Amino acid sequence: MRCLCDEMRENEYRRLLRQTLIITALCIAAVLVCYFWIDRPVVLTILMVRRAWGPFQHWQKVLLVACLSLIVADDFRISLGDVCGRYWPETWTHDNPSLIGTGTYGFHPFQRGDDIGSFPSGHACRILGFATVWVIAIPHSRIIATVLSAPMLVSLVAMNYHFVSDVIAGSALGAIVATYAAHLARLETP
């Protein structure tokens, strides 16, 4: 005799399969509509706009690559945060465990959640992911990038948002991603 939990599980899988088939059918329909009526006009419109604007100026290309670098660096940071699972220095929301709030300290790998996402620092990662592209592409902006970035990085530690090691790891991750992005985009000083 089948137990009630087996029957419930079977119903869940049927519902999941039905939803998957509906989404797949909608996706196929959307792809076909785009293929026949949308894709070509969009590409041609973008081509006309780009021709009207002319080629990207150096600063526009740098800005685009810096923004993309920031996004990619943050995606890496989120994944590493889940892998590392470090508690925060201070309790900020929902009574999350922290060193100051509950005496909790350490890494808890492969656990997910906002309460264990301190390492590496997302703020530091995004700041350096953006600023490093500028420094590589426009070397004379080095002082400006430092003046704008350093206070933010220091404040992350000073306000107990992050441990020093969180900020170092986030900064390094952002800078590494930005360096690859700048070199892949062939950003050199004009």
pLDDT by residue, tens only, the chain of 190 residues: 567 777 778 889 999 999 999 999 999 999 999 999 999 999 999 888 878 877 778 888 888 899 999 999 999 888 888 888 888 788 777 777 778 888 888 887 887 666 677 888 999 999 999 999 999 998 888 899 899 999 999 999 999 888 899 999 999 999 999 999 999 988 876 5
Range of the domain at 95: 58-184
Task: Give the global pTM.
Answer: 0.70
Are 173 and 126 within 8 A, CB to CB? no
Are 114 and 148 in the same domain?
Answer: yes
* Nearest by Cα to 172 from 107, 125, 139, 118: 125
Q: How large is the angle between the packed helices 164-184 and 58-84, nearest 10 degrees?
A: 140
Are 161 and 122 in the same domain?
Answer: yes
Number of domains observed in the structure of the chain: 2
Task: Flag whether 72 is in a domain.
Answer: yes
Are 7 and 89 in the same domain?
Answer: no
Are 19 and 86 in the same domain?
Answer: no
Q: Is 119 left (phi over 0), alpha (psi -120 to 50) or beta?
A: beta
Are 41 and 73 in the same domain?
Answer: no
